[in-house]
Amino acid sequence: MSELKLGDKAPNFDAETSEGKINFYEYLGDSWGVLFSHPADYTPVCTTELGTVANYKKEFDKRDAKVLALSVDGVESHKDWIKDINETQNTTVNFPIIADEDRKVSNLYGMIHPKADDTLTVRSVFVIGPDKSIKLMITYPASTGRNFDEILRVIDSLQLTAYNKVATPANWKHGDEVVISPSVSNEDADKMFPKGYKTLKPYLRMTPQPELKK
């Protein structure tokens, strides 16, 4: 099983999908990426998840994040399943689903956990930056559907903190105050954060969310 860690380069791959053959890096281009796996086609929780992502597609687009799903079933199975997703979730699936019948991508990304199931993937999520490095990994059990509001929240945090010397506190959401990095001196903070900041402790300084810099 793969031992990928945060900061590692996301493995590239070629794969057949519900929208044709892709190369992962070419598909992402200079965008952020969200790769997420599903135990199998025609499973109830997965059906709701894929419908949710389709309905949230505009939110991912706003963040320049391309989504890509994966299941260990084949292309024709995916295409038939998409009809069910569209019907039951009142949506139109608008992103590719990888057909990983040989488990190549699943094994590259460590999506199969033998103690949970030795053939099906768990609910893995990988957020990948424009530099193709892994910025986030979350693993859910097969019985628990993912919270895609949380995944969007994390992407907001990753993008904000990648270009500003700040971190986001517990339960932060877009627009809330942020924490100034401890590596920034007070003198530099005065220049970098014109909206001002409050010092709760020397190591804990809060400031209004800065504009996103790229």
Q: How far is CA 168 from CA 111, 148, 153, 176, 204, in A?
A: 28, 18, 10, 9, 12
In 3D space, the residue among 58, 9, 19, 54 whose CA is nearest the CA of residue 36 turns out to be: 54
Catalytic residues: 46
At 38, list the tokens.
């599903």
Whether the CB-CB separation of 134 and 140 falls below 8 Å is answered with no
